[in-house]
Amino acid sequence: MTLARISEDELVSKLRAIVDATRTTRVRLGIGDDAAMWQPSRSHRSAITTDALVEGVHFTRETMAPAEIGWRTAVASLSDLAAMGARPVLATIALGVSPQSGVEELLEIYRGIAQCAAAACLAIVGGDVTRSPVLSLTMTAVGEVRPAHAKTRSGGRSGNVVAVTGDLGAARAGLDVARGAVSLGDAELERGALLAFRRPSARVREGRWLAASASVRAMMDCSDGLSTDIARLCEASGVGAHLDAVPIAPSALAAARALNEDALAYALCGGEEYELIVAIERRAFSHLASRFAARFGRRLHGIGALRAQRGVVLSRDGGEVPVPRTGWDHFKG
């Protein structure tokens, strides 16, 4: 059987069955979350996460400048740490390059990595450089979190409010603009969309702040698209979700309108966005959301609720429609 015939999640579950045999008592959280965790000392946990970016799969040189490719490399790892509530500490980079690559282009990529990392106090401490037929960048980042603050995907409970830390779909609108596939008819909107695509932000401060609240039961980032990632959170938590208010970015609304597409698809299946999905105890949500808005100057959007009935559904046209897991899958994409 080839990989094309199974899903990424199925493959990961088979690989997990093999490597779970190596698990030791030091490990507090293994494969299956945004990051793994271990306990180096009593006072804190460390989180570790690995993300690879491959040319032609995650980026092309046509739509992204070298520094933007670097930025994206760092933001993916930072976002995984944010989802655990962890403070970034350090990272390594494995660089795969062809001998025909330009040295200046690689240095620009590293400048993009360093800019994004430095802003989050993530030190780049090492790595490996190898020949490779395509450009590839693999970052592994380590962060720290107090044991009581560490959040996972699996703590969600029926009745929890599901929230996201920002509106969704702007990164996909930005890709449309970068490809020249659409004009949004508004310079400000186009600039915002391109920024969301080229220099997205990881919600590191927001993640640490949310993690400090006992009312926050589960967190993950939605880098593979809300529809895929909410399904993963639900599966890990043993629940389903009912969504009724997915916030769509204005640039996604404009792009969908111009292309005669469904704007909700931008928000549900966009991917390459780094907002956090958060499950919060219902009684605490509105107070937490006001404190969040006061602290970060942005909304914590309630988008629905977790419920006992499995599967993810969406209110639409007065009824409930199932949300397919149509996010990014690396073998089908």
Looking at 73, 136, 213, 227, which residue binds a copy of itself (CB under 8 A)? 136
> Considering the complex, what minimum distance in angstroms separates the CB of residue 325 from a copy of itself?
16
Nearer of residues 21 and 187 to a copy of itself, judged by Cβ:
21
| Beta strands at 44-54 and 87-97: parallel, antiparallel or unpaired | unpaired
Residues numbered 114 to 133 that lie near a copy of itself (CB under 8 A) are 114, 117-118, 121-133
* 330 interacts with a copy of itself by CB under 8 A: yes
Question: CA neighbours within 13 Å on the CB side: how many for 84?
Answer: 31
Other beta carbons within 10 angstroms of residue 107's beta carbon come to 13
Nearer of residues 91 and 243 to a copy of itself, judged by Cβ:
91
Which region among 32-40, 233-241, 245-253, 271-279 touches a copy of itself (by CB under 8 A)? 32-40
> Considering the complex, what minimum distance in angstroms separates the CB of residue 36 from a copy of itself?
4
> Considering the complex, what minimum distance in angstroms separates the CB of residue 304 from a copy of itself?
28
Residues numbered 10 to 29 that lie near a copy of itself (CB under 8 A) are 11-12, 14-15, 18-19, 21-24, 26-27, 29
d(CA 294, CA 257): 33
> Considering the complex, what minimum distance in angstroms separates the CB of residue 34 from a copy of itself?
9
* 154 interacts with a copy of itself by CB under 8 A: no
What the block records as the tokens of 182 is 């659409």
> Considering the complex, what minimum distance in angstroms separates the CB of residue 209 from a copy of itself?
21
* 322 interacts with a copy of itself by CB under 8 A: no
* 60 interacts with a copy of itself by CB under 8 A: no
- E strand intervals along 195-275: 216-221, 240-243
Q: Site size for a copy of itself, by CB under 8 A?
A: 86
> Considering the complex, what minimum distance in angstroms separates the CB of residue 83 from a copy of itself?
13
Residues numbered 173 to 202 that lie near a copy of itself (CB under 8 A) are none
> Considering the complex, what minimum distance in angstroms separates the CB of residue 4 from a copy of itself?
4
Q: How far is CA 81 from CA 49, 208, 220, 312, in A?
A: 7, 9, 9, 25
Residues numbered 205 to 234 that lie near a copy of itself (CB under 8 A) are none
Looking at 59, 71, 110, 285, which residue binds a copy of itself (CB under 8 A)? 110
Looking at 78, 86, 142, 305, which residue binds a copy of itself (CB under 8 A)? 142
Nearer of residues 126 and 238 to a copy of itself, judged by Cβ:
126
The pair phi, psi for residue 220, each rounded to 5°, is -160, 165
What the block records as the tokens of 9 is 């999640």
DSSP 259-322: HT--HHHHHHH--S--PEEEEE-HHHHHHHHHHHHHHHSS--EEEEEEESS-SEEEEETTEEEE
> Considering the complex, what minimum distance in angstroms separates the CB of residue 8 from a copy of itself?
6
Burial class for 74, CB neighbours closer than 10 Å (0-12, 13-18, 19+):
buried
Looking at 13, 40, 186, 262, which residue binds a copy of itself (CB under 8 A)? 40
- E strand intervals along 171-225: 216-221
DSSP 10-61: HHHHHHHHHHGGG--TTEEE-TTSSSEEEEEETTEEEEEEEEEEEBTTTB-T
Question: CA neighbours within 13 Å on the CB side: how many for 220?
Answer: 27
* 236 interacts with a copy of itself by CB under 8 A: no
Nearer of residues 49 and 237 to a copy of itself, judged by Cβ:
49
Please answer whether residues 141 and 91 qualify as being in contact, where contact means their C-beta atoms are separated by less than 8 angstroms. Answer: yes
> Considering the complex, what minimum distance in angstroms separates the CB of residue 25 from a copy of itself?
9
The pair phi, psi for residue 30, each rounded to 5°, is -100, -150
